[in-house]
Structure 1
Amino acid sequence: MVKILGDLSPVYVVGIGFHPYQHASDTPYVALGLQAIREALTDAAIAWEDVQSSYVATALLGMAAGRPMLRHLGAHGQPLVHIENASASGSTAFRHACLEVGAGISDVALVVGVDKRTSPVFRAPTGVPSLADDAIVPATHFALLADEYCSRHNVAPEDVALVAVKNHANGALNPNAQRRKVRTLEEVMTRPIAGTLTALQCTPIGEGAAAVIVASEEGIRRLGIDAGRAVRVVSSAAGSEKAGNQTNPDTALSAEIMAQAIREAQIGPRDLDVIEVHDAFAIEELLYAEATGICEQGEFIPLLKEGAFDIGGRCAISASGGLIAMGHPIGPTGVGQVGEIVRQLRGEATGRQQPGARTGLAHMVGIGAVCYVHVLQK
């Protein structure tokens, strides 16, 4: 198996920034993105002129959305790459920025994810329509997965809903989250969408932005960046769906790519202190957490009830609030996960800090299915 970052020079995240995720507004996407970029530049204590390359992740804005945004910072002729990869757009952009810096092509790269829903979400036609396309929408699919999991492991729908209770509580502590309200189990169980899946167990798709600055050791030295706040990206793994698993390809793919990223980082699953997963639906956090290997299959719910996955527990999962409460603007989501993990590993996540956090994992899947996983260490 080919190692990626392990074969390259060390890569670090040195700056993070956000525009809070929010419901649809009249704010132009340019303003959303610029706020996140400027905050990341300030956090890294560098100037826009120091950035040598930029990656812009979007899913909803159309062609070449980055240039109208970045020109407000100044036109300096740096390379600019636009990336769309569904929900994994931001994670994909982050991986490619890390590869560029690790390969020595540049010393400092910007990754910014920004999105604004201006029209119904469009998915390219496959050319081979399915008889079930109109019947099995995402909520239906994940409701069926929740039912299957409950039956297989003898747990109740309310047990799965506890994931959302935890994540809403975490989101209430996050000033960048779209949903910032503590919810009781009774509240979470209201407003069914499909089967036992309810509205508060599903991610909202709003708008917002997230940005990170990636730098090499040479870039850190040359620009006088505070190395004590730099967080190393120790592994990056990616893959796409294989033939033969049509029931739950996202989980099978995630298990494979997570294992690859954890192996490349030379750690074990239980060395992870913070995890951000693609929990667009409550059942997803449960499935993907078990896929990391931090617990055995069927053990997630008992450990969740013990507080093992709370902030302050054995491993804080979705300390940001996850997609369920932090939100899922699509383009920014994977970048925002990296930003949250960096904040946690720096010890700067005021009000929701995982004590002693040193290693974190960010995981996103996208339609297709594709999967991107990154491991970061302080």
Structure 2
Amino acid sequence: MAKTLAQLRPVYVVGVGWHRYQELSETPYVQLGLTAVRQALADAGAKWTDIETSYVGTALLGMASGRPMLSHLGSNQSSIVHIENASASSSAAFRHACIEVASGISDVGLVVGVDKPARVDNALKQTGIQHLAADEIVPFTHFALLTDAYMGKYNATIEDVARVAVKNHGNGAKNPNAHRQKVRSLEDILKGRAVSGFLTTLQCCPVGEGAAAVVIASEEGIKRLGLDASRAVRVSASAAISETVYPPEVGFDAELTRRVSEMAMAQAGIKASQLDLIELHDAFAVEELQYIEAMGICKPGEAVRWLKEGAFDIGGKVAVSPSGGLIAMGHPIGPTGVGQIGEITMQLRREAGDRQHRGARIGLAHMVGLGAVGYAHVLQRD
């Protein structure tokens, strides 16, 4: 019978680092990535020569982009694996690095996500099949339609949906690594530039550039390197699935979320009600409402009421996207998933400063990639 991560030896996040997510600049991606890696190594108290395996998550940079980046750190003949999986690229990289350490192949690993906007040929255009619907309906139109559908089904208003963005912009204003660091009122959100349907720019994630990195280790690696075990955060579950054929009227992103979150929580032996914080794929405001309900945090149609009551605020029942989420933290694509892991690690260490969620012990990180793949990781403070 196949094993889960929870059935292998424990894996811990021992170091975290970022280069701030930001608008496209003249900064080379190598500098973006190295800033995050060096910060993560310093945070862990480890050296580059301690790293036994490296995973690089990127969606936009092309072939073997980690090699010229990591070579600046000096000689290290350990393996480098590059992973592209759309928005979930570094979530996938993190999962496979954890599997390698949990299996005993390596004791200490590095995961870095880095990206810069660039012209990328759409793979769908290279299939030889013309007029695919997915190539005609761009993401913001897809989510504008989902916003309309959610509002109609649950008698919600656009103001209700926009409150997700108000909360997340407020969280991002407390995060020095966030792309957007400005508190926004409901009026600000609603009066932003229209994108599609009721969606305005401030309800949509900015796709800029940046980097995030984590160092992971086994108990043996922590002991051998003399790392601070009191700051280590355990990865208690890792789950990944891909799309299937869904019944009519079933939203594929929400269904992916439901299934992969259930898998991760079952592995960790927890219930949705035990989660203290969640970092999720809120590329568009309505996604937070859909995914919170899909995860079982509240019943379908109840997320708006919980949001209004402050249940998803920092200090509320369960802090949702305390980093600012994709809407305010940003979505450089490659770094996004591993950046979520870093935020949860900071929260569970009680090191998140002004955005610290009181008493946080268990967190879940969630990403989807083009609706085709879903990832969920549970982190716990032992």
1:253, distance to aligned residue in structure 2 (A): 1.1
- For residues 52-105 of structure 1, the C-alpha deviation after alignment (integer angstroms, 9 at most, x for no partner) is 000011100010000000000012210010000000001000000000000000
2:237 equivalent in structure 1 = 235
State whether structure 2 residue 97 is matched by structure 1 residue 97: yes
Partner Cα separation in structure 2 for residue 89 and residue 267 of structure 1: 26
1:154-169 matches, within 5 Å, as: 154-169=155-170
1:119 equivalent in structure 2 = 119
2:209 equivalent in structure 1 = 207
1:175 equivalent in structure 2 = 176
2:295 equivalent in structure 1 = 292
Amino acid at match of 1:172: A
**Structure 1 residue ranges, 4+ long, deviating more than 6 angstroms after superposition:** none
1:24 equivalent in structure 2 = 24
State whether structure 2 residue 329 is matched by structure 1 residue 363: no
1:196 equivalent in structure 2 = 198
How many residues are matched?
378
1:326-365 matches, within 5 Å, as: 326-365=329-368
Amino acid at match of 2:297: I
Partner Cα separation in structure 1 for residue 128 and residue 272 of structure 2: 40
- For residues 202-227 of structure 1, the C-alpha deviation after alignment (integer angstroms, 9 at most, x for no partner) is 00000000000010000000001100
1:63 equivalent in structure 2 = 63
Amino acid at match of 1:9: R
Task: State the SS of the aligned residue for 1:16.
Answer: strand
Partner Cα separation in structure 1 for residue 85 and residue 319 of structure 2: 27
- Contact 2:256–2:371 (8 Å) recurs in 1: no
- How big is the alpha-carbon RMSD for the aligned residues of Structure 1 and Structure 2? 1.3
1:268-283 matches, within 5 Å, as: 268-283=271-286
- Contact 1:245–1:252 (8 Å) recurs in 2: no
1:198, distance to aligned residue in structure 2 (A): 1.0
2:11 equivalent in structure 1 = 11
Partner Cα separation in structure 2 for residue 95 and residue 161 of structure 1: 32
1:250, distance to aligned residue in structure 2 (A): 1.1
1:332, distance to aligned residue in structure 2 (A): 0.3
Partner Cα separation in structure 2 for residue 232 and residue 133 of structure 1: 38
TM-score (norm 1): 0.98
Amino acid at match of 1:212: V
Partner Cα separation in structure 1 for residue 153 and residue 214 of structure 2: 41
- Contact 2:253–2:371 (8 Å) recurs in 1: no
1:122, distance to aligned residue in structure 2 (A): 3.6
- For residues 21-49 of structure 1, the C-alpha deviation after alignment (integer angstroms, 9 at most, x for no partner) is 00000000000000000000000001100
- Contact 1:3–1:264 (8 Å) recurs in 2: no
1:124, distance to aligned residue in structure 2 (A): 4.2
- Contact 2:124–2:135 (8 Å) recurs in 1: no
Cα distance change of structure 1 residues 216 and 134 upon mapping to structure 2, 3 Å threshold: closer
Cα distance change of structure 1 residues 65 and 337 upon mapping to structure 2, 3 Å threshold: same
Give unpaired runs (5+ residues) of structure 2: none
1:325 equivalent in structure 2 = 328
- For residues 310-358 of structure 1, the C-alpha deviation after alignment (integer angstroms, 9 at most, x for no partner) is 0000000000000000000000000000000000000000000000000
Amino acid at match of 2:178: A
- Contact 1:274–1:357 (8 Å) recurs in 2: yes
Bigger shift: 129-138 or 299-308?
A: 129-138
Cα distance change of structure 1 residues 34 and 151 upon mapping to structure 2, 3 Å threshold: same
Cα distance change of structure 1 residues 172 and 127 upon mapping to structure 2, 3 Å threshold: same
Cα distance change of structure 1 residues 276 and 121 upon mapping to structure 2, 3 Å threshold: farther
Cα distance change of structure 1 residues 246 and 51 upon mapping to structure 2, 3 Å threshold: farther
1:54 equivalent in structure 2 = 54
Task: State the SS of the aligned residue for 1:351.
Answer: helix
Partner Cα separation in structure 2 for residue 47 and residue 124 of structure 1: 42
- For residues 180-199 of structure 1, the C-alpha deviation after alignment (integer angstroms, 9 at most, x for no partner) is 00111111012221111111
Cα distance change of structure 1 residues 209 and 245 upon mapping to structure 2, 3 Å threshold: farther
Cα distance change of structure 1 residues 152 and 368 upon mapping to structure 2, 3 Å threshold: closer
Partner Cα separation in structure 2 for residue 3 and residue 357 of structure 1: 28
TM-score (norm 2): 0.97
Cα distance change of structure 1 residues 369 and 158 upon mapping to structure 2, 3 Å threshold: same
Task: State the SS of the aligned residue for 2:105.
Answer: coil
